[in-house]
Structure formats: structure tokens, C-alpha cells
């Protein structure tokens, strides 16, 4: 059988697309579950008569494993809604393998990127949100979806559950230092927008990858990225060859190890992260998303089908 292939062009990726890993599910509140394969993490909710699932898990096989994990946690309720946290295929591709009839909620910018991308298996959102803050009321569940501005990917939405004091923010802050190269992160305002979430009342932090965190871990994740920004700028003054991974790894690693060396993944990732951040300062940022007031995205250039 041939799997939906996203934007892959090589037939040799079929084995990757088909793999169905074991997922670990954990109940966080009366109607809220988190689920992870050790890499990607997501969230799903029990509505009165249906399930609301965030994202789709990254491949067709993982989407099927996700559906089975949902069915065993919440038996007898169909997935009625999928909410895309952002456009990336490793989180929101392959809804065609999760639930073809579900309503799909996403930010308008996310929907426009998906419309133009035409990735195989990535379904177009049916309900598009515009703006920074939305009170959501679906099938007996109430929560908020938040897009403070460009942070990661296109049209990123985080979810806040005030009653349960849970914040879910996929692919943004982590409770560790395993960020790597930060592709498609909009660094100019990233930490500022993320810190803004600390104005919300939450105690449990659910990231889009790896282990769960709490409010303190979220705050420290902001501190860490800010420290990488500061040290990367200092590298210019010290004439560090900023395009050399080892040089950035040594320079920024040494500067930050006393305060952040205990973070999981620090030694393996701090160099890559610094390499990305230093080029942000060298070049001036990532297009329109990385301006100080990023209100000028090319949203009006793209028309979505009705
Ligand atoms: Zn992403």
C-alpha cells in the first residue's frame, strides 16, 4: 500500500511513513490527555459526544497510532475536530490518516500555507481563525487559542485551559535545551511573545516535544533562549568564526554551561542553536516575520477556497 507522502518525492520514504510506533498516553485532567512517542507530543480532549485532537502526529503511520491511542483512552467517541497548532507536516500533516470527516480548525495564515503547499495527506482547515485570542467552545469544552504573533511556523496557535491551569504550546519553548537548529522559528519576537504566556495562569506546560514541564520550566526555557541570544551577539565582538559549528559550540557552550549546563541536551544542541541565532543577527532575520512589529505578512495575497 502506498502512504500519503507529504512533500517527499522519493519512494524509499514509504517505510518511514508507514511505521506505527507505540504511543504513551497520560491523563492530565478530567477531559484532557497528552500523548507522545518519545519525540512528538500532543494533546486531545474528550468532548460531550466527540474527541477534539490537536495535530496529527507527523506521518500516516503515526496518525493511525494516534487514532488508536485516542480510541483506547476515550472509547466510542469519534474524532470530531482537529486543531492544527501550526502548518508543519511533522505535527499537522496527514489528517487524511487520522480522521477524514473532522472539522479542522487553524489560524488563517496556517490555512493559506497549507493551501499553497498541497502536501499529500495534509487536509485543508475548514474553520479559520484570525486574530490573537479566541475563546473556543466545542462540544462542551471551553478553552482559549492564542496567536500572539509569529513564533514558530505559520499561523501558530497555543492552547490555554484556565480551569485546569494547562498551557499547550507546540514546537516553541521546551523544558530542556534540545532545540537544535530552530528552522522556521521567528526569532526577532519569539522570546517576547513566549514570555507573554507567563501572564496566563498555568502550572502544567505541555510542549510539542519530549517531556512535560511546569511553569518554572517554561520560564527557564525562555531564559535559556535569551541567554543564547546574548552570547551569540558577544561572539561577533570576540571575532568567533560564527559559521563554524565547533567554534560556536565552544564559545557559547562555555559561556552558558554554568547556568544552563544541567538542561537535558545542552552539550549536543547548544552549538546548533547558537549557529542559527548568530545568523539571525548577521542577516537581520527571516523575512517579514522577523520585523519588530510583524503585522505585514502577505496574508492578503492568498485567497482560500470557500
Ligand atoms: Zn514545527
Question: What is the whole-number distance in angstroms between the Cα of residue 76 and the centre of ligand 1?
Answer: 31
Question: What is the whole-number distance in angstroms between the Cα of residue 171 and the centre of ligand 1?
Answer: 5
pLDDT tens sequence for the chain (306 residues) = 699 999 999 999 999 999 999 999 999 999 999 999 999 999 999 999 999 999 999 999 999 999 999 999 999 999 999 999 999 999 999 999 999 999 999 999 999 999 999 999 999 999 999 999 999 999 999 999 999 999 999 999 999 999 999 999 999 999 899 988 899 999 999 999 999 999 999 999 999 999 999 999 999 999 999 999 999 999 999 999 999 999 999 999 999 999 999 999 999 999 999 999 999 999 999 888 888 888 777 777 888 888
Question: What is the whole-number distance in angstroms between the Cα of residue 252 and the centre of ligand 1?
Answer: 25
Q: Which fold has domain 11-169?
A: Metallo-beta-lactamase; Chain A (3.60.15)
Question: What is the whole-number distance in angstroms between the Cα of residue 238 and the centre of ligand 1?
Answer: 33
| Cα–chain center distance at 275 | 21
pTM (2 d.p.): 0.96
Domain layout of the chain by residue ranges:
11-169
Question: What is the whole-number distance in angstroms between the Cα of residue 158 and the centre of ligand 1?
Answer: 12
Amino acid at each position: 500500500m502506498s502512504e500519503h507522502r507529504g512533500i517527499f518525492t522519493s519512494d524509499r520514504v514509504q517505510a518511514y511513513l508507514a511505521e506505527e510506533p507505540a504511543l504513551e498516553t497520560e491523563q492530565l485532567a478530567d477531559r484532557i490527555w497528552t500523548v507522545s512517542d518519545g519525540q512528538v507530543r500532543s494533546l486531545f480532549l474528550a468532548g460531550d459526544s466527540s474527541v477534539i485532537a490537536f495535530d496529527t502526529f507527523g506521518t500516516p503511520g503515526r496518525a493511525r497510532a494516534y487514532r488508536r491511542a485516542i480510541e483506547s483512552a476515550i472509547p466510542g467517541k469519534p474524532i470530531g475536530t482537529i486543531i492544527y497548532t501550526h502548518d508543519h507536516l511533522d505535527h499537522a500533516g496527514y489528517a487524511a490518516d487520522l480522521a477524514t470527516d473532522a472539522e479542522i480548525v487553524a489560524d488563517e495564515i496556517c490555512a493559506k500555507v497549507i493551501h499553497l503547499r498541497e502536501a499529500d495527506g495534509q487536509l485543508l482547515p475548514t474553520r479559520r481563525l484570525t486574530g490573537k485570542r479566541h475563546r473556543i467552545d466545542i462540544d462542551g469544552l471551553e478553552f482559549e487559542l492564542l496567536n500572539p504573533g509569529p513564533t514558530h511556523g505559520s499561523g501558530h496557535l497555543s492552547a490555554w485551559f484556565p480551569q485546569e491551569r494547562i498551557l499547550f504550546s507546540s514546537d516553541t519553548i521546551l523544558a530542556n535545551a534540545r532545540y537544535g537548529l530552530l528552522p522556521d522559528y521567528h526569532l526577532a519576537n519569539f522570546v517576547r511573545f513566549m514570555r507573554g504566556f507567563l501572564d496566563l495562569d498555568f502550572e502544567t506546560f505541555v510542549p510539542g516535544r519530549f517531556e512535560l514541564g511546569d511553569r518554572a520550566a517554561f520560564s527557564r526555557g525562555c531564559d535559556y533562549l535569551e541567554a543564547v541570544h546574548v552570547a551569540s551577539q558577544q561572539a561577533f565582538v570576540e571575532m568567533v568564526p560564527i559559521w563554524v559549528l565547533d567554534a560556536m559550540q565552544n564559545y557559547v557552550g562555555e559561556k552558558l554551561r554554568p547556568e544552563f549546563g544541567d538542561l537535558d541536551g545542552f552539550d549536543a544542541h547548544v552549538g546548533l542553536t547558537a549557529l542559527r541565532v548568530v545568523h539571525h543577527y548577521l542577516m537581520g532575520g527571516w523575512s517579514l516575520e522577523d520585523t519588530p512589529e510583524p503585522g505585514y505578512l502577505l496574508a492578503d495575497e492568498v485567497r482560500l477556497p470557500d
